[in-house]
Amino acid sequence: MSRPTPSYSHDLNDLCNSGKKIVSSFDEAKVEVLKWRVSECSALRNRTKLETDSDWISFIEATPGAVILREDGELKTIDLTVLLKRCYFLAFSMPPSPLVSARSRSASLASNTSAIESNSPEMPSLSI
């Protein structure tokens, strides 16, 4: 049976009710993330590779603000709320729109290409 479409508020509520908003290891973080509906979402799975322990560690470490280190550089804690936000951002954010100049340039190139392609041998080309 497939699960319903994930919602941030539902996963956040589950996280808050679990009492584990902060964990102290990558393994604990992975276990908690896998409980969230977003972790089963194809949109997230298509945008990030989370197959090995190394993939998980890299993903968690690359999440700004999620990992808190001790003074000696060792892992202290992982903030699961920050990690949840990143999962939803990756799964459902749209890529940035192209700049107006880029859209204008590509539209101009497309219209020139179609004009060139529409000139057939029967149609004389006009030049000034």
The 10s digit of each residue's pLDDT in 61-118 is 999 999 988 888 888 999 999 999 999 999 998 877 777 666 666 666 655 555 444 4
Residue 121 scores a pLDDT above 80: no
Q: Say what the pLDDT of residue 94 is.
A: 82
How high is the mean pLDDT of the chain? 82
Predicted structure pTM score: 0.70
Contact predicate 10/37, CB 8 Å? yes
Q: Which residue has the higher pLDDT, 30 or 121?
A: 30
Indicate whether 16 pLDDT > 70.
Answer: yes
Residue 3, pLDDT above cutoff 90: no
Residue 28, exposed/middle/buried by CB under 10 A (0-12, 13-18, 19+)? Answer: middle
Helix or strand run (H / E) with residue 22: strand 22-23
User: Is residue 29 a contact partner of residue 83, using CB atoms and an 8 Å limit?
Assistant: yes
Q: Which residues contact 111 (CB under 8 A, 6 or more apart)?
A: none
What pLDDT score was predicted for residue 69? Answer: 86
Q: Distance between CA atoms of 14 and 88, rounded to whole angstroms?
A: 15
Phi and psi dihedrals of 14, rounded to 5?
A: -60, -40
* pLDDT score recorded for residue 120: 45
What count of other Cβ atoms lies within 10 Å of the Cβ of residue 95? 5
Helices (H), 22-99: 26-33, 42-47, 53-61, 80-92
Comparison of pLDDT for 46 and 109, the residue scoring more: 46
Give the Å distances, CA to CA, from 122 to 54, 89, 94, 116.
63, 54, 46, 14
